[in-house]
Structure 1
Amino acid sequence: MEFIIQSVQDNIASITLNRGKVNPINEAFAEELKSCFQELATNPEVKAVIITGRGSFFSFGLDIPEFLGYSRQDFIRFVTKFADLYTYVFLYPKPVIASLNGHTVAGGCMLATACDYRIMASGKGKISLNEINFGSSLFPGSAEMLKYCTGQRNAETVAFTGAMFSPEEGKGLGLVDLVVSPEELEATSLKIAKEYAHRYGPAFESIKKLLRTDTTAEMKRKDELYRDEMVDIWYSESTWKQLQNIKIHG
């Protein structure tokens, strides 16, 4: 795989995002990540999955400079693929632990909220859905994942302000479940993944469906109903000007 480092040890799969310094999400990245999850879903050796990044970023979010070269139809194709990815992870049949090693922003935050448990390293890393700051709406279905994690009022705080929250602030809002030191992140993530892995797989999958099927149905409904509205805003003159000022380094 080009953008993913994958390993399996002691029934725990590790997925490391590995696209440059900031793990910007493009179409190929989304396709590869979903393929990786699908492969692990059918591997009987895998009982739980950890997803993490490298360095100071879990993920910066979308590779905006690349998408500036997309036609509207091409961008709709990507939006559909990314929505399929986070919806698949949200209802994934095995436990998924997000090990947030650093900045977890926009599309990166959407991926994190799709997971079952989020552990974030303390320090300078921020977590945010900052789309409103550059004039974009949210991916429609991701709003339902956000509410599922944080509740309605905190979801409004996160989405309306576009603020960059510290790990501790993210925990207070429900974006993060646990904050540990950077030195403890890997070991703690593995410990929690093993705790999940020891539970009976079919029971976990069944309970997860019972808890999340209604939310998933609403995610799919909103992604279908509001996709064009989100894309209209993305291609509006005001938003387009702001998007052109966004640079990705590394």
Structure 2
Amino acid sequence: MLRNLRSFQALKRCKSTSAAPRVQVKDEKATPIVAVDSSLVTVERREGYAVVRMNRAPVNSLNLEMFKALEKTVADLEKDKAIKGLILASTNPKVFSAGLDIMEMYQPKTHRLREFWAAFQEFYLRFYTTPLATVAAIEGHAPAGGCFLAMCCDARVMATGKPVIGLNETKLGIVAPFWMKDVMQNTIGHRETEKMLGLGLQVDALTAKKIGLVDEAVEVEQVFPLAEKMLQEWLAIPGHARKATKHLMRNETAERLRRDLKGDTDHFVDFAETDRVQNALGAYIAALKKPKA
């Protein structure tokens, strides 16, 4: 969820929805079947690692199908004995990921909304705790869920200049779940997280490096080469020690969600379907549709 999605002209090509009063459709008995769309993620296998690029035009918004594709990609790579790590990047050099797809939350069908959130949970739990070494190559903007994906990696390198990163949910009237807060707090500490989340801040690469949100800030053409170098540093550590240490550092955080997946989903769905959230999303979508002055 971008602070100002209109800053990306590509978002004008996104699916548009009227901001008319919400019509909530509940259909708990339905059993949706969502196939994994392999075109949403590209995978290039290299010696010892893979390059995983998000590929959902125009800005890699994270919908149900995208989360399923990402989760399956990581699961498949974990099974490949030749692959020890991955670099997460985007096929769009201007946008790493625009975050959660607002259209999954606006005027939703309840069963679809629940499946969407469950897919998000499932991907987070796999990716945050994967035994693979992971590096985010952030060449473009990474707001909200895009920031979260990057924070789930072991290391992050970001392009200087215009790209920004941060969890800006509060500016849209949405509260980030506790497990997104936990990951950010683990990354940049309590006070910086309090400011970033409470104010919905997005910062450039140099500021992000200063507070520890990214590890390196370089010119865009240097992002991917440096990401490869950083990944090799992680892979140089004996695998058993690296994996055990990662588990030691991250498993307790992941367990906080694992203990109550359904409760977390219930809380999210109840919150997302409130009139105040639906009205805020509707107003935001309507604002995006207005032509620039």
Question: What's the TM-score, normalizing by structure 1?
Answer: 0.93
* 1:185 matches 2:185: no
Alignment of 1:22-101 (within 5 A): 22-53=59-90, 54-101=92-139
Q: Is the Cα contact below 8 Å between 2:104 and 2:116 reproduced in 1?
A: no
Distance of 2:140 and 2:47 partners within structure 1: 26
Partner of 1:236: 274
Structure 1 letter corresponding to 2:180: S
* 1:124 matches 2:162: yes
Q: Which moved more, 1:54-63 or 1:239-248?
A: 239-248
Partner of 2:51: 14
Distance of 1:140 and 1:82 partners within structure 2: 13
Q: Is the Cα contact below 8 Å between 2:134 and 2:154 reproduced in 1?
A: yes
Q: 1:224 to 1:157 in 2, by over 3 A?
A: farther
From 205, 212, 216, give the equivalent of 2:250.
212
Distance of 1:7 and 1:124 partners within structure 2: 28
Structure 2 letter corresponding to 1:35: K
CA deviation after TM superposition for structure 1 residue 236, in Å: 1.8
CA deviation after TM superposition for structure 1 residue 224, in Å: 4.6
Partner of 2:209: 171
Structure 2 letter corresponding to 1:5: T
Distance of 1:239 and 1:66 partners within structure 2: 13
Q: Is the Cα contact below 8 Å between 2:105 and 2:272 reproduced in 1?
A: no
Q: Is the Cα contact below 8 Å between 1:134 and 1:242 reproduced in 2?
A: yes
1:71-94 Cα distance to aligned partner (Å, 9 max, x none): 123212211110111121111101
Unaligned 5+ segments in structure 2 are 1-37
CA deviation after TM superposition for structure 1 residue 15, in Å: 0.3
Distance of 1:209 and 1:193 partners within structure 2: 18
Structure 2 letter corresponding to 1:21: P
Which is greater in Rg? 2
Q: Secondary structure at the match of 1:172?
A: helix
1:102-161 Cα distance to aligned partner (Å, 9 max, x none): 111111111111111011111100102111111111133211111111111111111100
* 1:158 matches 2:196: yes
Q: 1:110 to 1:224 in 2, by over 3 A?
A: farther
Q: Which moved more, 1:167-176 or 1:39-48?
A: 167-176
Structure 2 letter corresponding to 1:26: N
Distance of 1:38 and 1:22 partners within structure 2: 24
What do you get for the CA RMSD once the two structures are aligned?
A: 1.7
Distance of 1:99 and 1:67 partners within structure 2: 28
Distance of 1:221 and 1:106 partners within structure 2: 24
CA deviation after TM superposition for structure 1 residue 231, in Å: 2.7
CA deviation after TM superposition for structure 1 residue 223, in Å: 5.0
Q: Is the Cα contact below 8 Å between 1:24 and 1:59 reproduced in 2?
A: yes
CA deviation after TM superposition for structure 1 residue 41, in Å: 0.6
Between the two proteins, the alignment pairs up a number of residues equal to: 248
* 1:114 matches 2:152: yes
Q: Is the Cα contact below 8 Å between 1:12 and 1:194 reproduced in 2?
A: no
Unaligned 5+ segments in structure 1 are none
CA deviation after TM superposition for structure 1 residue 212, in Å: 1.4
Percent same amino acid among aligned pairs?
A: 27
Structure 2 letter corresponding to 1:137: V
